[in-house]
Amino acid sequence: MMAAAQVGAQVTTDAINKDAATTGDVLTWGLGTQGQRYSPLTDVNAKSISKLVPVWSMSFGGEKQRGQESQPLVHNGKMFVTASYSRIFALDAKTGKKLWKYEHRLPEGIMPCCDVINRGAALFDNLVIFGTLDAQLVALDQNTGKVVWREKIDDYAAGYSYSAAPLIADGLLLTGVSGGEFGVVGRVEARDPKTGKMVWSRPVVEGHMGYKDGKENGISGTTNATWPGDTWKSGGAATWLGGTYDAKTGLAYFGTGNPGPWNSHLRKGDNLYSTSTVAIDVKSGQIKWSYQNTPNDAWDFDGVNEFITFDMDGKRVGAKADRNGYFYVNDAATGKLLNAFPFVTKTTWANGIDLKTGRPNFVPENRPGDPTGPGGDGTKGKAVFAAPGFLGGKNQMPMAYSPKTNLFYVPSNEWGMEIWNEPVTYKKGAAYLGAGFTIKPLYDDYIGALRAVNPKTGKIEWEVKNEAPLWGGVLVAGDLVFWGTPEGYLKAADAKTGKVVWQFQTGSGIVAPPITWKEGNDQYVSVVSGWGGAVPLWGGEVAKKVNFLEQGGSVWTFKLNK
Ligand SMILES: O=C(O)c1cc(C(=O)O)c2c(n1)C(=O)C(=O)c1cc(C(=O)O)[nH]c1-2
């Protein structure tokens, strides 16, 4: 076990690549660029956890609160944490004392689809870098909070925004875009993290040109091969959850969102590379492989979910719990599908994934109908009931993997929706859906379930149900799994058995992933609390399960009271 990267030291590529093993700091979103969210620390364990108590809590303040989805970073005794409305704070990690804060000035017309959230920052050298709701990147000096550079990702008036934590891969700053509901063009971009200067740009909608060092770097795929007419020009596939990186394969893995518009009859074809995992060679900026989870998606099954690489049977593979309700294992180097199984109780749109062809076995009658086809009246197509609903078997909340138990811990939800299609045409800056929907719970007693998933057998080893939908990510710390609930609890369970051994009420709903690190003799656990995100905005009939929850906005930090 290694301690922190040298105190006072600047954040290097080497330190970032070792982040998963160094317990004295948290340099990356995901506790390591592979995104396993696993820490080898075991001071806090099933025996000692009854002594885990808060040491400080710090409020983000302000008149505006809303969803807080940020994963904090810790380096050199400082915590860096982003907050709603494009704010970032630096705190003393031991005491919570505020060192500086930066509030980005947002224009009136921003168009984030799903709350004014931010999921975290990236550290590189002396900088802390985060993205804003008006689609900009801001790099600040870690010590002073002074802006060092600022770059525009794209035009917020066309629907672009930014919500993910940036990723540092092989010394480059990798970012995606949000805006899939407005017909933007999804892409992954690499910049020099010291200056913000663009190195390469790789569109993930087939037909668009990529660039490297200011020169054309080849079209992604083949224009019009999987998109009819001009539909590829506003194809969506937003890379809104960011990505992971594995130094062993040299590939960055980005999930891609739904194709635009939602009405699938307006874009017949597979619509590459929407709702896929796309593996990009970080050096060349080229797509090395892609695997599409939901070809010709009709249910808003964004495939943005994190692709977490790990070793299975001596081979480097990656796993993704997709919004469409299936859990996938692909070869990390080639993308070949190795395993796929549902991790939720009901998937109406497909009845399995064919491991030979890699394609879903669609249930055609469960696709929402064409408004101009049978059962449609020109303005509305045949409505269907679909599960999961569009908020997904899993959404933005990242899962975790334990190399000790070889299990994935998946925050999943059980819900469905009534969905129908409508005609729509693309207009810059306007919602580009062509669909209507109402979300409904599947069961009376729960929507959320934290599930321990065996990636080899597809077996759910244990689950802990939750009445409200789970919307916070997961951490494995030694032999314990930590996660938060909208009801406000930070919970810990035995990673092997799922027995809940501890919980603490944070005062507002948790929709963010916890972290842990060790400084001196103390292991710390931190989590951000503040109810919000997509559920209160789009939850339909789920509202009655969550409309009593209060907003908030604070960081909580715990350690053992010895
Ligand atoms: O297509 C997109 O660009 C896009 C972006 C985002 C986002 O940036 O947060 C979400 C979604 N889609 C989305 O479909 C969704 O369900 C969602 C939930 C959340 C959230 O933070 O709670 N964001 C987003």
> Does the beta carbon of 245 lie inside 6 Å of ligand 1?
no
Please state the atom number of ligand 1 nearest to the C-alpha of residue 533.
Answer: 22
**pLDDT for 384-410, tens place per residue?**
999 999 999 999 999 999 999 999 999
What pLDDT, on the 0 to 100 scale, is given for residue 6?
A: 52
**pLDDT for 115-150, tens place per residue?**
999 999 999 999 999 999 999 999 999 999 999 999
Residue 514 Cα to ligand 1 middle (Å): 20
13-560: CATH homologous superfamily? Quinoprotein alcohol dehydrogenase-like superfamily (2.140.10.10)
Please state the atom number of ligand 1 nearest to the C-alpha of residue 258.
Answer: 1
Please state the atom number of ligand 1 nearest to the C-alpha of residue 534.
Answer: 22
> Does the beta carbon of 240 lie inside 6 Å of ligand 1?
yes
Q: Which residues, listed in sequence order, are joined to residue 56 by a DSSP beta bridge? A: 557
> Does the beta carbon of 256 lie inside 6 Å of ligand 1?
no
| Known binding positions for Ca(2+) | 181, 258, 300
CB 507 within 8 A of CB 486: no
Residue with tokens 């244990």: 462
DSSP 534-557: SHHHH-GGGHHHHTTPPP--EEEE
| Ligand 1 probe mutation, 114, 153, 234, most atoms within 8 A of CB | 114
| Ligand 1 probe mutation, 119, 182, 302, most atoms within 8 A of CB | 302
Segments of the chain with pLDDT less than 70: 1-8
> Does the beta carbon of 154 lie inside 6 Å of ligand 1?
no
What pLDDT, on the 0 to 100 scale, is given for residue 1?
A: 47
What pLDDT, on the 0 to 100 scale, is given for residue 338?
A: 98
Q: What is the pTM of this model?
A: 0.98
Please state the atom number of ligand 1 nearest to the C-alpha of residue 238.
Answer: 3
The phi, psi pair for 366, rounded to 5°, reads: -100, 10
What pLDDT, on the 0 to 100 scale, is given for residue 120?
A: 98
Residue 96 sits at the vertex; the CA angle it makes with 93 and 102, to the nearest 5 degrees, is 90
What pLDDT, on the 0 to 100 scale, is given for residue 334?
A: 98
Q: Whose CA is nearest to atom 5 of ligand 1?
A: 178
| Known binding positions | 69, 119, 181, 258, 300
> Does the beta carbon of 186 lie inside 6 Å of ligand 1?
no
Please state the atom number of ligand 1 nearest to the C-alpha of residue 300.
Answer: 14
Residue 180 Cα to ligand 1 middle (Å): 8
> Does the beta carbon of 470 lie inside 6 Å of ligand 1?
no
Two tokens, residue 104: 């980005």
Residue 257 Cα to ligand 1 middle (Å): 9
- 0.85 surpassed by complex ipTM: yes
CB 557 within 8 A of CB 55: yes
> Does the beta carbon of 115 lie inside 6 Å of ligand 1?
yes
Amino acid at 77: G
**End-to-end CA separation in angstroms for the chain:** 22
> Does the beta carbon of 395 lie inside 6 Å of ligand 1?
yes
Residue 10 Cα to ligand 1 middle (Å): 33
Residue 156 Cα to ligand 1 middle (Å): 15
> Does the beta carbon of 163 lie inside 6 Å of ligand 1?
yes
CA 485 to chain centre: 17
CB 371 within 8 A of CB 422: yes
Please state the atom number of ligand 1 nearest to the C-alpha of residue 164.
Answer: 8
Q: Mention every residue, 6+ apart, whose C-beta is less than 8 A from residue 509.
A: 468, 471, 484, 485, 486, 487, 488, 529, 530, 531, 532, 546, 549, 550, 552
Q: Whose CA is nearest to atom 12 of ligand 1?
A: 180
What pLDDT, on the 0 to 100 scale, is given for residue 8?
A: 64
CB 421 within 8 A of CB 409: no
> Does the beta carbon of 128 lie inside 6 Å of ligand 1?
no
Pairing of strands 38-39, 474-477: parallel
Q: Whose CA is nearest to atom 23 of ligand 1?
A: 114
Residue 24 Cα to ligand 1 middle (Å): 32
Q: Mention every residue, 6+ apart, whose C-beta is less than 8 A from residue 33.
A: 16, 17, 19, 167, 168, 169, 244, 245, 246, 247
CA 156 to chain centre: 21
Residue 553 sits at the vertex; the CA angle it makes with 551 and 558, to the nearest 5 degrees, is 120
Residue 299 Cα to ligand 1 middle (Å): 14
> Does the beta carbon of 164 lie inside 6 Å of ligand 1?
no
Active site positions, annotated: 300
Residue 301 Cα to ligand 1 middle (Å): 11
